[in-house]
Amino acid sequence: MPIPLPIVKFLIRTGIAQRIPAIKALVPEPSYLRFYSDRILMAPNEPVRDVNNYLARATADCIDLSLGAPAEAGLKPKLPDADELFAGSGYPPAVGMPELREAVAAKLARDNGITADPADEIAITNGVSQAIHVVFDSFLSPGDKVVLVDPTFLVYSLAAQYHRARIAWVRSRLVNGRTRLHARQLERAMRRAKLVVVNSPSNPTGGVLEPETLERVLGLARRHDALVLSDEVYERFIYDGEHLSIGSLPGARERTITVNSFSKSHAMAGCRVGYMAAIRYLMRPMMVHQFIATPFAPVASQRLAIRALAEPAAKSRPVLDAYDARRQWLHRELCSMGLPCELPAGAFYCWIPIRQLGLTSLEFAHGLLESQRVLLMPGENFGPSGPQHVRISFAASQSKLEEGCRRLRAFLDLIRDGKSTHRTIGDRLERLDPPHASPVTPHSANSARQPAASESARASS
């Protein structure tokens, strides 16, 4: 369990925190802790630092299979000329350009069965990351319960810890590409919950929630008067079946916040533009938060998003077919090298169990990066089951996937031949991660928080 905030502040005030080795490893100059807000003091600093340090070790010769950022031209909107892109590019409304909000409303009605008034029930955000923060900041207080599926997108658990919420984890498993939730755990977790997060297709598993599962989640949310946050950024990447938005179900409108972005669907990750939709009574406080915190996404990005929504869906069909082929190829390849995993029905990730190798996800990921120059995502912060898994993305070219798998196979051979054991990888990690490996950022400056935030997240389940 993390040290309570009053004790943390006492340790800082008395100067004891400055002499604790674990604090010095996180904060090169601990005396500056006295300036930090309570929220930053209790933030999940260790996991954020570890992820940043790991990704920063990538070099030009690495095969990057870690992040999901599609780049195919068949997904991207056609770039307008500069005059059109920046026409009238003064400050737009804080919640987004009216033309884009109207286009999003039309898209939601057409593709998702969700009715939203563009005037006061849709807001444009700086990607889904901002939308997540707005939702959590608008509706969560310290101690509120958030229900998360294990495993889930790491930002949800980190954001919950940052807002000092309690996490109730619900185990899941992938069966024929579908996400199955542990029914008894779900029932128990939803009691006195303030918010439940739904992500389908899922990051990191690629699992798709079936209609009956969505109905069960919504029914429990209504019974216990909880809000539903539905992240649908991967809705375009479904290879078997149709996407269903929980916000389209009867009784969902009054409590569901739907968030999405153009990062995956239209290969616009660098543009940082997304949106959130909810009934006006929920949207109103979120609009206030957005106005104060980060009003409006870049005008140029919003104009590109308008173009993206105007393009025919058939344009992306060849790209989605190519992703489907990569999905099946990668699954066969992983199974053939002794890493059996479930075939995902959506998104562009494979969630690979590695417990049988005797390594944690961090040891596996760092060992693979050092030995073979392949970058993938350790599962450490995706939930309680994360340390036993790694995530690999097939949002990369076929040639990169093939070379990455060749190197992965070589790494597995080293492990199985005994040349790269648990102990030697652990020793290498100690050498690779000196106490002051990276400069301080707002999220790498925890005070006397012990154990690491990833451990406290597991304890909260």
CB environment 416-425: b (16+ within 10 A), e (fewer): eeeebeeeeb
CATH topology (fold) of 1-68+348-452: Aspartate Aminotransferase, domain 1 (3.90.1150)
* pLDDT value at 428 more than 80: no
SS3 431: helix
Which candidate, 156, 94, 87, 86, places its Cα nearest to that of 126?
94
Beta bridge partners of 172: 181
Where in the chain are all domains bearing CATH 3.90.1150?
1-68+348-452
pLDDT interval class at 352 (50, 70, 90): very high
What is the predicted pLDDT for the residue at 424? Answer: 53
Query: Can you list the positions of beta strands (E) in 385-432?
Result: 389-393
How far, in Å, CA of 455 to CA of 122, rounded? 37
Non-local (6+) Cβ contacts of 87 within 8 A are: none
pLDDT interval class at 451 (50, 70, 90): very low
What is the predicted pLDDT for the residue at 82? Answer: 75
Distances 227 to 44, 165, 258, 268 between C-alpha atoms, Å: 24, 14, 11, 29
* pLDDT value at 444 more than 50: no
Which candidate, 425, 391, 423, 401, places its Cα nearest to that of 411?
425
Average pLDDT for the chain: 89
pLDDT interval class at 353 (50, 70, 90): very high
Non-local (6+) Cβ contacts of 301 within 8 A are: 268, 271, 272, 273
Where in the chain are all domains bearing CATH 3.40.640.10?
82-313
* pLDDT value at 439 more than 50: no
Beta bridge partners of 181: 172
pLDDT > 90: what percent of the chain? 71
Amino acid at site 82:
A
Q: What is the DSSP letter of 435?
A: T
* pLDDT value at 416 more than 50: yes
* pLDDT value at 339 more than 60: yes
**CA dihedral in degrees (366, 367, 368, 373; nearest 10)?**
80
Give tens-digit pLDDT for 69-98: 999 999 999 887 777 777 766 788 999 999
Give tens-digit pLDDT for 117-153: 999 999 999 999 999 999 999 999 999 999 999 999 9
Gyration radius from the chain CA atoms: 22
Q: Which residue has the higher pLDDT, 59 or 196?
A: 196
For the chain, the residue count is 461
How far, in Å, CA of 368 to CA of 373, rounded? 7
Question: What long-range pairs does 423-429 form, CB within 8 A, spacing at least 24?
Answer: 425/359, 425/363, 425/364, 425/366, 425/367, 426/363, 428/366, 428/367, 428/370, 429/362, 429/363, 429/366
How far, in Å, CA of 362 to CA of 387, rounded? 7
* pLDDT value at 361 more than 90: yes
Tokens of 217: 């989640």
Do residues 372 and 331 touch, judged by C-beta distance below 8 A?
Answer: no
How far, in Å, CA of 124 to CA of 93, rounded? 10
Block residue for tokens 């050092």 = 370
Q: Cα(first)–Cα(last) distance of the chain, in Å?
A: 12
* pLDDT value at 337 more than 60: yes
What is the predicted pLDDT for the residue at 116? Answer: 98
* pLDDT value at 156 more than 50: yes
Which candidate, 156, 160, 182, places its Cα nearest to that of 171?
182
Average pLDDT, stretch 88-112?
92
* pLDDT value at 155 more than 90: yes
Q: Which residue has the higher pLDDT, 78 or 310?
A: 310
- Please give the CATH number for the structural domain made up of 82-313: 3.40.640.10
Give the largest Cα separation in the chain, rounded. Answer: 64
CB environment 110-146: b (16+ within 10 A), e (fewer): ebbebebebeebbbbbbbbbbbbbbbbbbbbeeebbb
Do residues 131 and 233 touch, judged by C-beta distance below 8 A?
Answer: no
Block residue for tokens 């309690």 = 166
How far, in Å, CA of 245 to CA of 397, rounded? 30
What is the predicted pLDDT for the residue at 419? Answer: 63
Give tens-digit pLDDT for 158-192: 999 999 999 999 999 999 999 999 999 999 999 99
Check the CA dihedral 54-59-64-67 and report its sign: positive
Reported as half-sphere exposure (CB side, CA atoms, 13 A), residue 334 has a value of: 24
H or E element at residue 455:
helix 453-460
* pLDDT value at 437 more than 70: no
Instruction: State residue 178 phi and psi, 5-degree precision.
Output: -100, 140
